[in-house]
Chains A and B, each alone.
Chain A
Amino acid sequence: MITIAIGLSIILLFVILFLLFRIGTLASIFRGSSQRAVGTTKTSNRVNSTLFLLFLVIGGAAFIWSFADAWDDMNLPLASVHGAWTDNLFWTTMIVIGIVFVITQILLFVYSYKYQHKDDKRAYYYPHNNKLEIVWTMIPAVVMALLVFGGWKTWTKITSAAPEDAVVIEVMGKQFNWMVRYPGADGKLGVAKHTLIDATNEFGIDFTDQNAMDDFMPMEIHVPKGQPVLFKIRSRDVIHSVFLPHFRVKMDAVPGMPTKFWFVPSKTTDEMRSETGNPDFKYELACTEICGRGHFAMRYILVVDEPEDYEAWLAKQTPFAEQNPEVVAKFSSSSQQVVAENKTEGKAEEVKSEL
């Protein structure tokens, strides 16, 4: 019954709308406005041009209000050194384009209102003015040159080679979570190969490589505050993308092509907790390249420690090889030839990742 009633009332609504439309059409025929060229009737011009002006004023006010209202939420707290440069550049650019935005929108809508059709008026025949064209080509060109220069300097600094003493961490994306590997005491990541991956050895680490013996995989990323951190990023299935919103860090994880990104954390998790007033605050790592069903749920936690806390945390970690001796045992039992083969191929891969 209710469905029928709803259906009937919707039909009724459409009938009423249609009748209103017909009445409007007939009325305009009686008034004779349909005899005039379109857009030259008084009401249509007055209504539309006034609406443009209202749109400018009300829309502009709504924009300013909503922008101010969203300000606190949209500005994520910042926790890296280079993030300060990009945030700065971002808001500088926003001010520049904001000025252009305001001027052009005002001119557009004010002119639309001011120069609405009047029967006794004639438009001003003004086909071109080369001087004006040159002026408004040169101004954006100069502004762009400055912005390019600023962007280029920042970009070069951010993408420069990581310092020698950077803390190296491997981040690997897979459907649908992140995995992290630390090089351990020797500071060198062991060679990994996708053909060696199984349910336990998820990185596909080749344990014939001595460098792999002290590698460990924690459940959270820990990094020391104030020290450069180098992420060596890879993926083992489809493309993912490492995104640390508070650190202004983003880099794709590409299967078969290792990538990297280095940054300097500037605030510990504890400092951020007191700054945001949120005792449960956690730095999060998200995926920003569509990777399948669980794309929206690839969350990983990153903790920034004071350097001494970081050292303490490091000391507590046990290498993967120690935790899973059976995996390592498998490697030592395999034939010498296979090991040799793996080694040479592994070397080639290492060279690739250095690029």
Chain B
Amino acid sequence: MSSTDISIHKDVHHAHDEHDHHHDQNFIEKYIFSQDHKVIAKQFLFGGIFWAFIGGFLSIIFRLQLGWPEATFTFLEPILGGWIENGKLDPEFYLALVTMHGTIMVFFVLTAGLSGTFANFLIPLQIGARDMASGFMNMLSFWIFFLASVIMFWSLFLETGPAGGGWTVYPPLSALPQAIKGSASGMTMWLISMALFIVSQLLAGVNYITTIINLRTKGMSMTKLPLTVWALFFTAILGLLSFPVLFSAALLLIFDRSFGTSFYLSDIYIAGEALTNTGGSPILFQHLFWFLGHPEVYIVILPAFGLVSEVIATNSRKPIFGYRAMIGSMIGIAVLSFVVWAHHMFVTGMNPFLGSVFMFLTLIIAVPSAVKVFNWIATLWRGNIRFSTGMLFAIGFVSLFISGGLTGIILGNSALDIQLHDTYFVVAHFHLVMGAAAFFGMFCGVYHWFPKMFGRMMDEKLGAVHFWATFIAVYLVFMPMHYIGIAGFPRRYYNWTGFETFNIFTDLNTFISLAAIIGFTAQFIFLFNFLYSIFKGRRATENPWHSNTLEWTTPVLPGHGNWPGEIPTVYRWPYDYSKPGAPEDFIPQHVPFSATQSSNLPNEKDLE
């Protein structure tokens, strides 16, 4: 009896496989409402690239204003319409530009675009799973993100403009339409869009965590996971714990705006009228916002850590130095990221004792961050480095992360933050450490995993040109901003000419704007390379980088289910590069120790 059962089961299974291969999904199932993690990853990637160009373009408009405050920009009238009058940008529109640039870049590009793309693409492929734990939830996550995107994009075209109270949307400014035009329907749409965005992030996060815990292939213990997967795992946990807090903050703000509550409002006289709201606290919003906001910067940078670690190890042809220390430092950063949020609020009138506590906790983060940098540099040491474009961006990432991270030690110090808070020093700091660095992580990932996504290679020469133009432009933009910040220039200023104190550095601001325009233009090289290579790029092989991780054991263009046959079993960690005694300089994870007797270390002999 039992043997019959088994054979029936086998037949059924076989039939099912056949069915998978021959069933032609129609276009909508395959490319639009797809539940395949690889397609969803590409959808997030395209969405992210679209938003990155919008966000970048907005920054170019406000850089024009800052670089040439006396100039008239009549040539912008056809695109900006009523927002520009006689060639002069409207100051409220300027604030809306800054707000939307921040919102778009932090949430839509570096959260959804970065972890949405790489968590979806890499988690199943690198842990050896056929797909995410719930393909449907995954699809839902993208389409809710899409809806959030549509609403946010729509808000750009409102007559009163998109939200304009800064990306941190502090009330009462964001709560009162009398205070700024952007707080009218633009802010309503911002809040709706962000609420949907959070739902999308939560659906995605639950899925990532479940998949990593439950769907690892045979032999893939947690300590054999590539660092990318570890990083994406922590990212998902951070998102899951912190995004709901932003949701509650947004919800209370919606209540204050639309239903007359006073969570954040108290004792306000505005537009010739005293409001009845009493007892609320604007500082409460800041606490709630930054309880997400701070982990958020690690949600942005952790996936970049993972991608860069993987690419550096592969292209240095060396194991990542201190694999366990890398995981440990990520745990340290992830835990600490929850208890440092008030360092954004040292001068809000918060109790000074709290300031001391948060300064202490903030500066501790420098320790695991330093460990990571040292480990990356140690990985390069005595390597045999291949300068693929992905590797160029990985090295650029480490450089930018150092430059931007170090100034965090200054800003995390509450005594020094008094002078520097909300100046261009802060702008320079976070753009280097979480803006440019995370973008470099993303580029590094796109160039490196492009062959697995589209079955073709991106052009390496254009990639190198793109890298060098971007790398130089980023430094030219953000290094001088430190000088301006030390001189005390406040951020979100339409111009500085009204102050004698800030009536210096005009040449430097023009220089920064020029560098920003060059840097933005260079991104079109990437866009061309990306689109051209999807259709006309050189065909890729299965494992073009000679990498160890599991995704490179799939066919050139992995189909639904990723591996045509059985999922490979994993025997070793992902970093056996240049192992002494091995014929090749890499041993993929699915190669058993019995096949590599010449290179096994003494402690691996028992595993043969």
Contacts and interface: CB of A to CB of B under 8 A. Distances in A.
Interface string A116-148: 111001111111110011001100110010011
A284 interface: yes
Interface residues of B, number: 125
Contacts of A126: 318-319, 321, 378, 381-382
Interface string A35-60: 00111100011011101100100010
B340 to A, nearest CB: 13
Contact of A37 (B316, B464, B546): B546
Contact of B348 (A108, A175, A252, A299): A252
Contacts of A127: 319-323, 575
Contacts of B348: 252, 254, 259
Interface in A177-222: 193-195, 197, 204
Contacts of B385: 39, 45, 49, 112, 115-117
A76 interface: yes
A86 interface: yes
A236 interface: yes
B418 interface: yes
Interface string B348-389: 110010011001100110110011011101101111111110
Contacts of A104: 373-374, 377, 402
Interface string B553-591: 000000000000000000000010111100001000000
Interface in A295-332: 295-297, 299
B172 A296 contact: no
A297 B377 contact: no
Nearest to B419: A248
Nearest to B496: A296
A252 B95 CA distance: 19
B471 interface: yes
Interface stretch (B116-124, B212-220, B266-274): B266-274
B49 to A, nearest CB: 20
Interface in B584-602: 585
Given A241-B422, A288-B423, A194 B579 contact: no
A115 B490 contact: no
A25 interface: yes
Nearest to A56: B399
B604 interface: no
A289 interface: yes
A237 B180 CA distance: 12
Given A38-B386, A256-B267, A21 B459 contact: yes
B91 interface: yes
Interface in A17-42: 21, 24-25, 28, 34, 37-40
B206 interface: no
B383, B546, B575: residue with the most chain A Cβ atoms closer than 10 Å: B383
Interface string B414-440: 111011011100000000000000000
A147 B165 CA distance: 34
B165 A290 contact: yes
Contacts of A85: 415
A21 B364 contact: no
A37 B386 contact: yes
Interface string B507-534: 0100000000000000000000000000
Nearest to A295: B492
Contacts of A151: 359, 363, 413-416
Interface stretch (B136-144, B302-310, B475-483): B475-483
B419 A195 contact: no
Given A123-B578, A140-B367, A293-B180, A39 B388 contact: yes
Contacts, number: 364
Contacts of A238: 172-173, 176, 179, 268, 270
B405 to A, nearest CB: 9
Contact of B387 (A45, A93, A141): A45
A21 B532 CA distance: 11
B501 A286 contact: yes
Interface string B272-283: 001000111111
A104 B404 CA distance: 13
Contact of B409 (A93, A249, A260): A93
A159 to B, nearest CB: 4
A86 B580 contact: no
Interface residues of A, number: 117
A339 interface: no
A105 to B, nearest CB: 6
A158 B422 contact: no
Contact of A250 (B95, B319, B418, B578): B418
A89 interface: yes
Contacts of B403: 101, 105
A189 B584 CA distance: 81
A238 B436 CA distance: 32
Contacts of B423: 288
B155 to A, nearest CB: 18
Contact of B370 (A38, A140, A154, A259): A140
Given A125-B578, A248-B418, A94 B410 contact: yes
A132, A243, A292: residue with the most chain B Cβ atoms closer than 10 Å: A292
A107, A290, A297: residue with the most chain B Cβ atoms closer than 10 Å: A290
Contacts of A281: 500
B209 interface: no
A124 B578 contact: yes
Contact of B382 (A45, A124, A159): A124
A89 B416 contact: yes
A294 B91 contact: yes
Nearest to B286: A239
B464 A48 contact: yes
Interface of B: 91-92, 95, 165-166, 170, 172-173, 176, 179-180, 265-270, 274, 278-283, 315-325, 347-349, 352, 355-356, 359-360, 363-364, 366-367, 370-371, 373-375, 377-378, 380-388, 391-392, 395, 398-399, 402-403, 406-407, 409-410, 413-416, 418-419, 421-423, 457, 459-462, 464, 468, 471-472, 475, 479-480, 483-484, 486-488, 490-496, 498-502, 504-505, 508, 538, 544-546, 575, 577-580, 585
By Cβ-Cβ distance, the 4 closest A-B pairs, closest first, are A39-B386, A256-B266, A259-B349, A159-B352
Given A117-B387, A125-B577, 10 more contacts: A73-B505, A89-B415, A127-B323, A133-B375, A155-B355, A159-B355, A250-B418, A256-B278, A259-B349, A281-B500
27 contacts: A48-B392, A55-B472, A73-B487, A74-B486, A76-B488, A97-B407, A104-B374, A108-B402, A111-B381, A115-B316, A124-B318, A133-B371, A140-B370, A144-B366, A147-B409, A148-B363, A152-B360, A155-B356, A158-B418, A237-B172, A237-B269, A241-B347, A248-B419, A252-B347, A286-B499, A288-B422, A291-B179
